[in-house]
Amino acid sequence: MKSLLDYDPKVLMAFLKSLEGDRKFSDFLMDNGYRELEALASAIHSNEDALRWLLDNGYPEFAVLSNAIDNEENAIAWLEKYNCKFLSLFAAACRKEDAAIKWFADNDLRIFILIINEIHHILLYQSWDASDFHKLRRS
């Protein structure tokens, strides 16, 4: 199984920029053999097709990571069961669990702290968007 630790910092910076919505970095990931990172960024943005792509193309750990970031209990348990310690800590930090955030800070993992911070922004925006009564559908 892959871990985010498997990637060069420059590739992780492209992943960060893709999370921020910069299409040229999404294209870079797609064109240079990192489609799984572009799909993960899209899955974090709630793209169901990207989540399915991860599952269908040998990256279940990244699909589960996206769900664990969203605090889905089964996904959190899956990461633990399959000993995905780093991804589990990463998801916990994205969920703003203090101990996990401290672990990243204590280990001076700056690129991951930047990525976690961006995911915090994405989750906050999604939360606001979901509660915007102007966007609610009438049944």
- The closest alpha carbon to 44, from 72, 2, 6, belongs to 72
Please tell me the distance from the alpha carbon of residue 127 to that of residue 136, in angstroms, as a whole number. 13
Per-residue HEC secondary structure of the chain comes to: CCCHHHCCHHHHHHHHHHHCCCHHHHHHHHHCCCHHHHHHHHHHCCCHHHHHHHHHCCCHHHHHHHHHHCCCHHHHHHHHHCCCHHHHHHHHHHCCCHHHHHHHHHCCCHHHHHHHHHHHHHHHHHHHHHHCHHHCCCC
65-92 pLDDT per residue, tens? 999 999 999 999 999 999 999 999 999 9
Number of domains, the chain = 1
Domain residue limits at 16: 7-130
pLDDT of amino acid 139 = 42
Residue 1 lies in a domain: no
Residue 2 lies in a domain: no
pLDDT of amino acid 129 = 54
Low-confidence ranges of the chain (pLDDT < 70): 128-139
Do 68 and 88 meet the contact criterion of CB atoms below 8 Å apart?
yes
pLDDT of amino acid 132 = 46
- Predicted TM-score (pTM) of this structure: 0.89
Residue 137 lies in a domain: no
pLDDT of amino acid 130 = 52
Please tell me the distance from the alpha carbon of residue 107 to that of residue 6, in angstroms, as a whole number. 16
Residue 111 lies in a domain: yes
